[in-house]
Structure 1
């Protein structure tokens, strides 16, 4: 039995097709789990740092999946060959939204065949949605999951088109229209964090930053009003 946390188990529910590419694979737990569940036939696991790469190799060999998972050392999506690799789903998990968006931007030319993206961000998902909208992708679902007191966002996107409002970009087109308890908890925490930052600022000396944070607070409060 592959040891996998609830967060990655939830991510696995959105994997489609025969081949998965998992970027930043962390011991290749997600690809091995998907193979164990019979979801996929093969996988590519990418790591950018030699230490985690070697750990993934060891992990895959220990579980006997070395003939099904190709572990590659390289930067993001650049590990994929657009001529020979035609993966069905690409997962990028456990990173901040800006970093995931950076990986997508820098390596997008390596996936011209338009696979599904399953993107799990730890914070700040707005840059991910901006990238998807600008590059011919449509968000097909989003969800939140809580693990060890942290709330994570999962964004699932297929080839298509969409036009998102500023509120959709920030809060998620599937998440804010019908807010869940986790959504309320996540953004209530964000207000509290912003208020803590404001306490450290002088409203006059740091007026621009202070006003910016106040604007963010008010925007979140406006969205949370619909939850009452």
Structure 2
């Protein structure tokens, strides 16, 4: 086992990188994905971006350890500021909240010039990421969901295209599919069922806390949570019974 064995999550992200692409990994987690892409000849060049000094130095050390300084450029900077326009074909951002991912993309919009694929793995807030894609000319083309070490991850892949395409002609509304994931809903993986069961458990706890309060605002919020739970119950029932 090498010192840079990577998780199944990162291997799955790597699998969506077109062969020979120039890739940017923003928030590179010790440049493990960059190492994997280069060592397996999946990318021709990788830019590994880090915001803070500690991870930046760790990433540099990792790339030096595999002798890939000529193929991986480790850079310190905020989000897409580490890139020049047209420098990469693919941008990966993984392991952050959806809101942060959206902020990075929005703040660095001019750096998306020439980029033809985004591979994004939000820890939370997947709906925000899908909505940003739809509003900014990116067509969701692939989705996958996996569980590793007790944590559930969704990986979203988008290419330049027609953003509405994956949401058309489906049994669920667009708003629902932005939450559920249009391709994940079609697949109906047991992992997706597990995710929504966990979400339902969280909201049940919220409802339990709200029910202890006699304040009018709490009671109104409780009614909203009850509606949310009804929707989740229906979603889970469909996932369990309406498998492809």
**TM-score > 0.5, shorter chain as reference:** yes
1:208 Cα deviation after fit = 3.2
1:212 Cα deviation after fit = 2.7
If you compute each CA radius of gyration, which structure gives the higher value, 1 or 2?
Answer: 2
What is aligned with 1:5?
7
**Any residues of structure 2 matched to 1:136-155 within 5 Å, and which?**
136-155=137-156
1:204 Cα deviation after fit = 4.2
1:55 aligns with 2:64: no
8 Å CA contact 1:132–1:138 kept in 2: the answer is yes
Q: Deviations over 1:58-108 (max 9, x none)?
A: 1111121111111111111121111xx431111001111111111111112
- Of 176, 191, 206, which aligns to 2:185? 176
What is aligned with 1:64?
67
1:152 Cα deviation after fit = 0.3
Moved over 6 A (4+): none
Paired residues in the alignment total 226
8 Å CA contact 2:122–2:153 kept in 1: the answer is yes
Structure with greater proportional helix content = 2
C-alpha RMSD of matched pairs (Å) = 1.4
TM-score (norm 2): 0.88
Which whole-Å CA distance do the structure 2 matches of 1:189 and 1:55 have between them? 35
Taking a change above 3 Å as real, the CA distance of residues 223 and 185 of structure 1, as seen in their structure-2 partners, is same
Which whole-Å CA distance do the structure 2 matches of 1:149 and 1:44 have between them? 30
Which segment drifts farther, 24-33 or 13-22? Answer: 13-22
Unaligned runs of 5+ in 1: none
1:166 Cα deviation after fit = 0.1
1:74 aligns with 2:77: yes
8 Å CA contact 2:91–2:115 kept in 1: the answer is no
**Any residues of structure 2 matched to 1:11-26 within 5 Å, and which?**
11-16=13-18, 17-26=20-29
What is aligned with 2:99?
98
Structure with greater contact order relative to length (CA < 8 Å, sep ≥ 6): 1
TM-score (norm 1): 0.94
1:193 Cα deviation after fit = 0.9
1:215 aligns with 2:227: yes
Q: Secondary structure at the match of 1:19?
A: strand
Taking a change above 3 Å as real, the CA distance of residues 65 and 220 of structure 1, as seen in their structure-2 partners, is same
8 Å CA contact 1:176–1:223 kept in 2: the answer is no
Unaligned runs of 5+ in 2: 168-173
